[in-house]
Amino acid sequence: MTAPELILRDLGLVEYQPTLTAMRQFTDSRTSRSPDELWLLQHPSVFTQGQAGKAEHLMAPGDIPVIKVDRGGQVTYHGPGQCVIYLMVDMRRRSLGVRDLVNLIERSLLQLLEEYAIFALLKSGAPGVYVEDEKIAALGLRVRRGCSYHGLALNVDMDLEPFERINPCGYKGLQVTSMAKLLPATDVRPALIGTRLMDIVASALPG
């Protein structure tokens, strides 16, 4: 049997709200024959509040917009220098459960970081990827009609100050880090990192 087609798109720096609308439209209009897609991108500064989001975790947004979204989880920040990959995957066709897809994303992030000698870890009950006690990558998914959208965000080389205005992912006092902070003498460009990470995720998806 031929493996499902997978299309990789590099969208560059794009506004959050139109991208969210595009993900929803793609998911609602796709058929059983539609190829899966991975979207690599960055967003201008924005806070996104998940379905279970509580106002208490958004402490001082200032001039950064806040958008309520339909993924799981609490509040997070997106900004330039962060690698975001959205996964539009027909999970039923690939025989994937939600936990399977989360595990695939987390393993892909761990593999990418290990290639840069960053030895990250997972924490039980706290989705995402950590270096010691600092979070370096977040993930959040929505599944509709057996298909996923939203995805992962890896802090590559970005201003981390906005994370101090929130309780990241709903955890008070959680510290956040980035690849550039951990590897100050290494060239870590989001586009380059993102292309490699997208390739890892693509190769990990079951046919």
Q: Collapse the DSSP code of 88 into the 3-class scheme (helix H, G, I; strand E, B; otherwise coil) and give the result.
A: strand
Q: Which residues contact 148 (CB under 8 A, 6 or more apart)?
A: 87, 88, 89, 91, 101, 141, 142
32 vs 198: CA distance, rounded Å: 23
Residue 141: exposure state from Cβ atoms within 10 A (0-12, 13-18, ≥19): buried
Q: Which residues contact 121 (CB under 8 A, 6 or more apart)?
A: 110, 129, 130, 131, 132
Q: Collapse the DSSP code of 83 into the 3-class scheme (helix H, G, I; strand E, B; otherwise coil) and give the result.
A: strand
Q: In which element (H, E) is residue 149 found? A: strand 147-155
What does DSSP say about strands 66-68 and 82-90: parallel, antiparallel, or unpaired? unpaired
207 vs 4: CA distance, rounded Å: 6
Question: Considering 89, 136, 154, 169, which one is annotated as catalytic?
Answer: 169
Q: Is 83 marked active-site?
A: no
State CA 57 to chain mean position distance.
19
| Positions marked catalytic | 169
